[in-house]
């Protein structure tokens, strides 16, 4: 269940099966994190502007430094596994929230707010669901100084909170489709190593819960929502994803089937679950007694078909991991709180007050022009910092475009610009900034996506020879292989691809951890050519079954 934690839920069989592997990975990660955390959490290192390690040399430490120093999060030292989302992160979440909210509203999804606490009774109605979530529940047992008669749990997801009311509210087929969504916080008290954005004990998300008359109608919505999730990644965050269906092993606890968008982190070659849209089938509607009279047959009752779907703040972490570089964060323009920063140049000891005022006046005119053009722009007029220091500061924070403006530019009626993503530089005539800057921002947005898309495409290898699998993983690829879809075979594939502990010690002096086995990421909707039904074998050399589908596997979060 390594990658399910901050998405819609732990997969069905995940808890038992991934334990061993997760433990090993966690031990290693803990070690690395401990080392990494030391320099960045002390006041001294906070003062070091810029990232102290290279993204390619030590990816985990690089990530921790970036999220902290770019002020996306802070660690909540009071309670481990919790993080503070700072304004630049909340801005990204706000853009996503507004974008998604507009689109589900247009679909007819209404907003609701259910209590954050769950009673034991409701929770225990769906068995697989309980098995999936029980180990991570936070229990409130006391209020003030009194013990509660019946302890209550903080929601890890709201199926069991909401569905008793769906039973009450849905009376006739005319109430269908019935669609509610809530934006809230959930708690999953994980024992495993936590990571900012990707795996936190509390996170923000939206959870949609809908009911439909037929499987077909439910299924249609599952895909509509999945497409919105894909667009959040692709259009807002400039992150490519693969759309597909989860295997039985990896589907939502208690659900019927799970669809997913899967991302890829080039730095370590790992897959990462992006967001999931589940068809719950009639499992929950039977347990919670949610039914309507069949419109075609009086007296006959039909249990409704339900969906649930969720997108969490995890998306921000994926975006950071993919676009960031050794200078820090790189934000796609569409989700950047500040898209362009204006920095005055050439102010020296010899500059007169009048010259300085003139330069700042023209800078302010440029700022106003850009604001009117819809650009989110700020001027950095801080005293006591040199332009290079300011450049570093805004690069660290990921601002997509820097505009510099000094006396020479002023004389030529131009501004100089520098792209955060490529470092490319150039000039625009001042008269043209209102059109050129928005164009350039769109170019940056597209280029970021294209670069990430190319990296993903080139590292998603279609493999038909088992011996090539582990070398492909070691070369930071995910693989697409012919697969029988059997759950035990899937488990065995994980074991077969896990490495033995290597000899020697790692950079921190700890024994080297074994490499992680690969798990199934999804069965891509876009299936490659070449799988002959009833003929092509499952790639697992120990398996005698025929392959049903091409399935994407990889080491993963």
Residues that bind a copy of itself (CB under 8 A): 74, 76-79, 82-87, 90-91, 93-94, 110-119, 121-122, 134-145, 151-152, 154, 161, 164-165, 168-169, 174, 180, 184-185, 187, 189, 191, 202, 204, 382
If the CB atoms of residues 115 and 426 are measured against a copy of itself, the closer one turns out to be 115
* Number of Cβ within a 10 Å radius of residue 124: 13
If the CB atoms of residues 387 and 487 are measured against a copy of itself, the closer one turns out to be 387
How far apart, in whole angstroms, are the C-alpha atoms of residue 534 and residue 546?
6
Under a CB-based contact definition with an 8 Å cutoff, are residues 118 and 151 in contact?
no
Report, in Å, the least distance between residue 90 CB and a copy of itself. 4
Under a CB-based contact definition with an 8 Å cutoff, are residues 472 and 463 in contact?
yes
If the CB atoms of residues 166 and 264 are measured against a copy of itself, the closer one turns out to be 166
Report, in Å, the least distance between residue 121 CB and a copy of itself. 7
Report, in Å, the least distance between residue 77 CB and a copy of itself. 8
Strand ranges (E), 223-269: 242-245, 257-265
If the CB atoms of residues 169 and 389 are measured against a copy of itself, the closer one turns out to be 169
If the CB atoms of residues 123 and 483 are measured against a copy of itself, the closer one turns out to be 123
If the CB atoms of residues 112 and 267 are measured against a copy of itself, the closer one turns out to be 112
Between the CA of residue 189 and those of 5, 144, 194, 200, what are the distances in Å? 10, 22, 10, 8
- Residue 357: phi, psi to the nearest 5? -65, -40
If the CB atoms of residues 119 and 358 are measured against a copy of itself, the closer one turns out to be 119
Under a CB-based contact definition with an 8 Å cutoff, are residues 3 and 260 in contact?
no
Under a CB-based contact definition with an 8 Å cutoff, are residues 223 and 242 in contact?
no
- What own/partner pairs with CB < 8 Å and gap ≥ 24 does 42-51 have? 49/389, 49/392, 49/393, 49/396, 50/327, 50/328, 50/392, 50/396, 51/326, 51/327, 51/328, 51/396
Report, in Å, the least distance between residue 202 CB and a copy of itself. 6
Q: How many CA atoms lie within 13 A of 320 on its CB side?
A: 31
Report, in Å, the least distance between residue 191 CB and a copy of itself. 8
If the CB atoms of residues 165 and 466 are measured against a copy of itself, the closer one turns out to be 165
Report, in Å, the least distance between residue 286 CB and a copy of itself. 20
How far apart, in whole angstroms, are the C-alpha atoms of residue 34 and residue 511?
15
Task: Give the pairing type, strands 401-405 and 340-344.
Answer: parallel
How far out from the chain centre does Cα 492 lie? Answer: 28
Report, in Å, the least distance between residue 84 CB and a copy of itself. 5
If the CB atoms of residues 1 and 516 are measured against a copy of itself, the closer one turns out to be 1
If the CB atoms of residues 393 and 490 are measured against a copy of itself, the closer one turns out to be 393
**CA-closest candidate to residue 188, choices 131, 145, 136, 242:** 136
Report, in Å, the least distance between residue 438 CB and a copy of itself. 21
Q: What is the DSSP string of 42-69?
A: SHHHHTS-S-SS-TTT-HHHHHHHHHHH
Report, in Å, the least distance between residue 377 CB and a copy of itself. 15
How far apart, in whole angstroms, are the C-alpha atoms of residue 316 and residue 328?
14
Report, in Å, the least distance between residue 140 CB and a copy of itself. 5
Report, in Å, the least distance between residue 504 CB and a copy of itself. 35
* Number of Cβ within a 10 Å radius of residue 465: 9
Between the CA of residue 483 and those of 100, 399, 478, 535, 554, what are the distances in Å? 34, 43, 15, 12, 13
Q: Angle 14-41/59-69 helices, nearest 10 degrees?
A: 60
If the CB atoms of residues 50 and 530 are measured against a copy of itself, the closer one turns out to be 50
Report, in Å, the least distance between residue 533 CB and a copy of itself. 44
Quick one: DSSP state of residue 193? Answer: P
Report, in Å, the least distance between residue 164 CB and a copy of itself. 7
- 180: which strand partners? 110, 209
Dihedral (CA of 158, 161, 166, 169) sign = negative
If the CB atoms of residues 36 and 200 are measured against a copy of itself, the closer one turns out to be 200
**CA-closest candidate to residue 239, choices 154, 322, 303, 301:** 322
Class of residue 78 by CB neighbours under 10 A (exposed 0-12, middle 13-18, buried 19+): exposed
If the CB atoms of residues 116 and 223 are measured against a copy of itself, the closer one turns out to be 116
Report, in Å, the least distance between residue 446 CB and a copy of itself. 28
How far apart, in whole angstroms, are the C-alpha atoms of residue 70 and residue 65?
8
If the CB atoms of residues 118 and 222 are measured against a copy of itself, the closer one turns out to be 118
């Amino acid at each position: 269940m390594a990658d399910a934690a901050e998405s819609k839920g732990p997969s069905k069989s995940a808890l038992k099966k991934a334990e061993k592997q997760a433990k090993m990975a966690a031990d290693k990660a803990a070690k690395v994190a401990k080392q990494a955390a030391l320099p960045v959490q002390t006041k001294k290192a906070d003062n070091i502007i810029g990232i102290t390690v290279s993204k390619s040399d030590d990816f985990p430490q690089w990530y921790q430094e970036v999220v902290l120093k770019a002020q996306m999060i802070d660690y909540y030292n009071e309670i481990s596994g919790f993080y503070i989302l700072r304004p630049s992160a909340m801005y990204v979440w706000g853009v996503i929230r507004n974008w998604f909210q507009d689109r589900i509203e247009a679909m007819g999804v209404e907003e609701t707010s259910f209590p954050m606490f769950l009673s034991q009774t409701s929770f225990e109605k769906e068995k697989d669901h309980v098995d999936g979530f029980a180990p991570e529940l936070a229990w409130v047992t006391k209020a003030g100084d009194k013990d509660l008669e019946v302890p209550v749990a903080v929601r890890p997801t709201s199926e069991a909170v909401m569905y008793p009311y769906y039973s009450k509210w849905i009376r006739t087929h005319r109430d269908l489709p019935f669609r509610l969504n809530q934006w809230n916080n959930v708690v999953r008290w994980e024992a495993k190593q936590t990571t900012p954005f990707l795996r936190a004990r509390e996170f923000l998300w939206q959870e949609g819960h809908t009911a439909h008359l037929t499987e077909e109608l439910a299924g249609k919505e599952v895909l509509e929502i999945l497409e919105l999730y894909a667009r959040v990644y692709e259009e807002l965050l400039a992150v490519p994803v693969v759309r597909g269906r989860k295997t039985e092993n990896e589907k939502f606890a208690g659900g019927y089937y799970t669809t997913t968008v899967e991302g890829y982190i080039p730095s370590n070659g790992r897959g990462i679950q992006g967001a999931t849209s589940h068809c719950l089938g009639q499992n929950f509607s039977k347990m919670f007694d949610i039914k309507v009279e069949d419109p075609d047959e009086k007296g006959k009752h039909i249990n409704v078909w339900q969906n649930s779907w969720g997108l969490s703040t995890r998306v921000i972490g994926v975006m950071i991991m993919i676009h960031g570089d050794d200078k820090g964060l790189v934000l796609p323009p569409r989700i950047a709180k500040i898209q362009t920063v204006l920095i005055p140049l050439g102010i020296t000891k010899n500059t007169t007050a009048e010259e300085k005022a003139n330069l700042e006046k023209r800078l302010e005119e440029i700022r106003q022009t850009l604001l009117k053009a819809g650009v989110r722009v700020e001027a950095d007029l801080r005293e006591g910092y040199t332009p290079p220091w300011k450049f570093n500061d805004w690069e660290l924070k990921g601002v997509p475009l820097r505009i510099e403006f000094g006396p020479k530019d002023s004389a030529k009626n131009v501004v100089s610009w520098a792209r955060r993503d490529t470092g490319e530089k150039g000039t625009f005539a001042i008269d043209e900034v209102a059109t050129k800057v928005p164009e350039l921002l769109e170019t940056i947005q597209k280029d970021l996506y294209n670069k990430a898309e190319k990296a993903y495409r080139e590292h998603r290898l279609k493999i038909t020879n088992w011996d090539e699998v582990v070398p492909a993983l070691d070369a930071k690829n995910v693989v697409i292989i012919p697969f029988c879809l059997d759950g035990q075979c899937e488990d065995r594939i994980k074991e077969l691809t896990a490495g033995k502990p290597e000899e020697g010690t790692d950079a921190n002096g700890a024994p080297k951890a074994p490499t992680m086995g690969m798990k199934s990421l999804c069965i891509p909707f876009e299936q490659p050519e070449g799988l002959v039904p009833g003929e092509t074998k499952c790639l697992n050399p120990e398996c005698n079954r025929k392959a049903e589908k091409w399935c994407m596997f990889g080491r993963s979060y």
